[in-house]
Amino acid sequence: MTKFSISNIFEKLESFKTIDLPEKQLPFWKIAGPGAILVGLSIGAGEIVIWPRIAAQYGGSLVWAAVLGVFLQLWINFEVGRWTITTGETVYTGYSRIWRGFAPLFILLTVVSWIAPGWARTSGLALKALLIGPNGWGSDTFWTVVTFTAVALILFGPKMVYKSVENTVELLVAIVTIGLILVVIAVGNLDTWKELGSGLINVGRIPDDMNFKDLFIANVEHSADNRLTVKKLFIAVVFAGAGGTANLFYTFYLRDKNIGMGARLPSLRNPLRGRDETVPSTGFLCEETEENRQRFTAWWRYIKQDQMLFFWALNTVTMLLFIFGALAVLHPKGIVPEAGTLIYDEANILKDIWGLPGQYIFLLVGVATLFGTQLALVDGVSRSISDIVYTNFKGAKKRSLSWWYLLVAGIWIVAGCVITYVMEQLNVSELGFLFSAAYMGGFAMAIYVPLTLYMNRKFLPSFAKPKAISTIMMLIASAVYIGFAISSVIYEISKLFGG
């Protein structure tokens, strides 16, 4: 009988190779893009579904929490970028350097967080509403299959996966931003701006019709009084931004854009369009020379520009515009949309205000937003799982990284269609998918946020380690997500025992 040991399962991780950091030669706008893909992820269900529903019910009182969620994630993304530009490795490989058990754990967290295809189903519903109306022909499953087919064509049509995703998401983000500006022009008034501004500056404010202690009362999520529990607030804060393990996808976009030490590793190729190649699974560290310090400073400036311009500024603006739309057209009428109808309900009210153009503009915004998220999620999840498997498990390198990516993406797309069909038969809404994804993603953040800070302080050269302000902000973010996670566990235990 073979004795079980970790060495029987995991491939040995090679030590860091020593090599100089590449020099940053191109200006920012020539290599911009990774942050824009994160925006495409971020303006998905959180901005167009979860936060507009909160605004429709509670008005602008919780806008501060949405902005806080994005701001905290900005610092998380900084640290993910710090690791990748300095080592060329994905953060998942860094976690495995701390403990090999993080490899299967993050596969589990990724699967549990994203396997329920809430975005795909909501994307399909939005496309259906745009083309033939919400009550037109075709089941949820049929329209989900349509959107997944489009995802497959984008991922496996062009030769380089990253470029295809970047171009598509950037186009969708442009459609969303322009469309939202037109919507705000159509429905905006001074009172709505005042309410939005009041909710933005009154940090810690709780809605007038909600007692603060309700946040910690163990009530069922879809109860009749529909109170905002700590679970719901946790979900909302997590999805104010990319959320869950989606923030970690940034590590792949930087590598494929040849940013920092990522330039030392080849980009992911489409295995259906070209020759597979062996990709190094571990990265590099540079010597602590003045030249490397200056090169790191240049790349670190890029990370800050990329994240502050795209993720923080653009994401915050689009989120506030979505909330503004809900405050202007849903909240005054007391409409809190049901599952599957939020986008169409808001578009229908815009039709009354601005005619058919208003309706179709918002439906187009909905399709662009949700499909962009669906595309980026399939790509990011497939990259994450394939990278973890390829790097950590024995025998995985018998196949190329791109082969594993193709396998995971294919399974993910098929599983998404099957799960949508089953959930549709059981009459489970897509909102249930989305809330569950955010809930589990929050627990993942409670693990990886402090882990990322520890990793960067442990392994990186002294000039690349997080400085005081980054350390403090990551500790605050860790406290927020861990605190919410502990409160949610207490909530679930109290519910289990009838508390």
> Quick one: what percent of the chain has pLDDT higher than 90?
38
Range of the domain at 227: 14-496
- Asked whether residue 8 is assigned to any structural domain, the reply reads no
Q: What pLDDT is recorded for position 416?
A: 92
**Which of the 8 DSSP states describes residue 46?**
I
Separation between Cα atoms, residue 379 and residue 252, nearest integer Å: 10
Q: What pLDDT is recorded for position 180?
A: 83
Q: What pLDDT is recorded for position 220?
A: 34
Separation between Cα atoms, residue 155 and residue 405, nearest integer Å: 10
- How do the pLDDT tens digits run along the chain, 499 residues long? 455 456 678 988 999 999 999 999 999 989 988 988 888 877 765 667 678 778 887 888 888 888 888 999 999 999 999 999 999 999 999 999 999 999 999 999 999 888 888 778 888 988 998 888 878 888 989 999 999 999 999 998 777 777 888 888 888 888 888 888 888 887 778 888 898 998 888 876 766 555 433 333 333 343 334 445 555 666 667 667 677 898 999 999 999 899 999 988 877 777 766 555 556 778 999 999 999 999 999 999 999 999 999 999 998 988 888 888 888 877 777 766 665 566 777 777 777 777 777 788 888 888 888 898 899 999 999 999 999 999 999 999 999 898 999 999 999 999 999 999 998 888 876 655 666 666 677 889 999 999 999 999 999 999 999 999 999 999 999 998 898 788 777 766 777 776 5
Q: What pLDDT is recorded for position 284?
A: 94
Model confidence pLDDT, tens digit, residues 475-494: 999 998 898 788 777 766 77
Q: What pLDDT is recorded for position 259?
A: 95
- Whichever domain contains 318, its CATH number is 1.20.1740.10
- Asked whether residue 378 is assigned to any structural domain, the reply reads yes
Domain count, the chain: 1
- Asked whether residue 63 is assigned to any structural domain, the reply reads yes
Question: Which residue in the block uniquely carries the two structure tokens 């187009």?
Answer: 364
Three-class HEC string of 140-175: HHHHHHHHHHHHHHHHHCCCEHHHHHHHHHHHHHHH
User: For 277, left (φ over 0), alpha (ψ -120 to 50), or beta?
Assistant: beta
Q: What pLDDT is recorded for position 7?
A: 63
Would you mind telling me the total number of residues written for the chain in this entry?
499
C-beta separation of 207 from 60 below 8 A:
no
Model confidence pLDDT, tens digit, residues 93-126: 999 999 999 999 999 999 988 888 877 888 898 8
C-beta separation of 24 from 295 below 8 A:
yes
Tokens representing 258 are 């040849």
- Asked whether residue 2 is assigned to any structural domain, the reply reads no
C-beta separation of 294 from 461 below 8 A:
no
Burial of 159 (0-12, 13-18, 19+ CB in 10 A): exposed
Tokens representing 476 are 């605050």
- Asked whether residue 5 is assigned to any structural domain, the reply reads no
Model confidence pLDDT, tens digit, residues 399-438: 989 899 999 999 999 999 999 999 888 887 665 566 666 6
- Asked whether residue 4 is assigned to any structural domain, the reply reads no
Q: What pLDDT is recorded for position 37?
A: 87
Model confidence pLDDT, tens digit, residues 286-329: 999 999 999 999 999 999 999 999 999 998 988 888 888 888 87
Which residues, 6 or more positions from 459, have their beta carbon under 8 angstroms from its beta carbon?
16, 87, 94, 97, 285
